[in-house]
Structure 1
Amino acid sequence: MAYNEFLSDRISQFFKEKGVNFYEKKMFGGMCFMVNDKMCVGVVKDEVMARINPDIYEEALTKKGCSEMNFTGRPMKGYVFLNEDATDLDEDLHKWLQIALDFNPLAKSSKK
């Protein structure tokens, strides 16, 4: 299944309106949004994948529509999936995107 292009467009529009320097990269069978050459958020199928501060990870998992990201059989702390309950309204999506953007300067770059 392809990724949700409408959701991807909403993320792109938010970043443009905020003046964020980003680029899009196809990864994980979806679309990732790279900020400072680091994965910030992405769209996989109909969900947003967000990289957030590990210090707020446990609290984030208690929020409606937020779940642990699990590609390999074990959760990745600091990465969450956000389903439609967390992204349907622009206000909710924008809140999560801002959380990911706020963490981006602190995030470590992956090894190339």
Structure 2
Amino acid sequence: MCNLVESMKRVINEQVGDQIREMLVNEPDVEEKTMFSGHCFLVNGKLCVCVNQEDLLCRIGHDRVVEELENGNARQMLMNGRASKDFVYVALADITGGRQLAYWIDLCLQFNPQAKAAKKKK
């Protein structure tokens, strides 16, 4: 039974990844990488959105993070016990359709021009 559940989660993950890929098709500079235990999409060299088995990781900027947390639509991303100010997790179970997924992708794309690129490793 456990293998079936894991297999179903991977299918959902791949389906959501495919939907995100379709939503980013008109962006000129999209790169995909495996990071944060999921599949991440970088736009213009900056982390934009990631999908793992259960969540969407959205980079939406501090002001929007505060708003979405207050509305109860997301939860704060924590790294090493500290809040990552520009990121939230959204449970895939709470995204019931393409319109809701598009809402989060749009927020990520709106913030992308202001986001800072990660420093390149030497």
Task: Tell me the residue number matched to 2:110.
Answer: 102
- The alignment-based identity, stated in percent, is 34
Distance in 2 separating the partners of 1:82 and 1:40: 14
Distance in 2 separating the partners of 1:54 and 1:27: 21
Q: Which sits farther off after the overlay, 59-68 or 38-47?
A: 59-68
Residue 55 of structure 2 is aligned to residue 72 of structure 1: no
Structure 1 unmatched runs, 5+: none
From the CA coordinates, give the structure whose radius of gyration is larger.
Answer: 2
Residue 50 of structure 2 is aligned to residue 50 of structure 1: no
Instruction: Determine if contact 2:54/2:93 at 8 Å carries over to the other structure.
Output: no
After superposing on structure 2, the runs of 4+ consecutive aligned residues of structure 1 that deviate more than 4 Å are: none
Query: Residue 44 and residue 66 in structure 1: after superposition, are their counterparts in 2 closer, same or farther (change >3 A)?
Result: same
Residue 39 of structure 2 is aligned to residue 20 of structure 1: no
Q: Report the TM-score when normalising by structure 1.
A: 0.87
Q: Which amino acid aligns with 1:93?
A: L
Q: Deviations over 1:16-46 (max 9, x none)?
A: 1xx1131211112211001000000001222
Q: State the SS of the aligned residue for 1:92.
A: helix
Q: Which sits farther off after the overlay, 3-12 or 84-93?
A: 84-93
Distance in 2 separating the partners of 1:56 and 1:72: 22
Distance in 2 separating the partners of 1:39 and 1:87: 21
Instruction: Determine if contact 1:86/1:93 at 8 Å carries over to the other structure.
Output: no
Cα RMSD (Å): 1.8
Number of aligned residue pairs: 110
How many angstroms does 1:64 deviate by? 4.4
